[in-house]
Amino acid sequence: MGSAERTRAFLLRSVDFGEADRIVTLFTETVGKVSVMARGARSSRRRFGGALEPFSLIDVEVAPGRGQLDRLSAARIERPFVRLLGRLTHMREGGYALEAIRALLPERQPEPRLFTALIDFIGALDAPECATPRQLKLGLLVQAIAVMGFAPQLDRCGVCKRAPTHEQAVQLHPARGYIVCRSCGGARVLLSGRTRALWSGLTSEGWLLAASTPWPDQQVAQVSDALKPLLECNLERSVSFV
């Protein structure tokens, strides 16, 4: 990084470094995911005005550092989400989402659409009446895999290219990223016609509303059972955040 850059960000992770410092991983709006040295963040909480906590939209300035890491030169809270911090389930699902984003994003690849989705997601978890924290996280993950380019193809068999009817249940092959019809051998993850319609809604602009409206248990299970192997195949490791 040549000169200082000011951008909005969410904290993804913070690790103590030495007596006084922390290395923080941020998801920034304009630079993407970046790890920076926060000098003095460990010895004095006031150094960055309490901004280095998860679930706050923060305004940061990142400057070239002396070593390999850039350094955090300033941080302040732009928008706190205090209601969320009083809800254990919401904090857990929010934490899973931040963990997933940290795992999925490569360093320094700006993803403004995902950044906006994350602001909306945290805002929804913080809303006065939020009854669907897990669905919201699943919705954000559907958005994330679409942004990262491995959304599954659910509209036609990846082998024979035949399209199922809207009502028809399909079988998803997570490693191949497409559905396989029964005559082509089938696959192991079942998605009903309704779940496919829901999934399609979660990939659209209206995903937040789709994720805020309660789903039947079967659909929660089907979306989750499809997302987990899709993420695991792509990250090449097991995940616990789905």
Instruction: Enumerate binding residues for Zn ion (CB under 5 A).
Output: 157, 159-160, 181, 184
The minimum distance between CB 179 and Zn ion, in angstroms, equals 8
The minimum distance between CB 180 and Zn ion, in angstroms, equals 6
Q: How far apart are CA 32 and CA 169, in angstroms?
A: 37
The token pair that represents 172 in the structure block:
């998803």
Burial class (CB in 10 A: 0-12, 13-18, 19+), 59: middle
Compare residues 135 and 171 and give the one whose CB is closer to Zn ion.
171
The minimum distance between CB 89 and Zn ion, in angstroms, equals 40
The minimum distance between CB 155 and Zn ion, in angstroms, equals 12
Compare residues 20 and 159 and give the one whose CB is closer to Zn ion.
159
Compare residues 23 and 184 and give the one whose CB is closer to Zn ion.
184
Compare residues 15 and 160 and give the one whose CB is closer to Zn ion.
160
Compare residues 74 and 184 and give the one whose CB is closer to Zn ion.
184
The minimum distance between CB 152 and Zn ion, in angstroms, equals 15
**224 neighbors 93 (Cβ within 8 angstroms):** no
Nearest to 84 by CA among 98, 70, 104, 71: 98
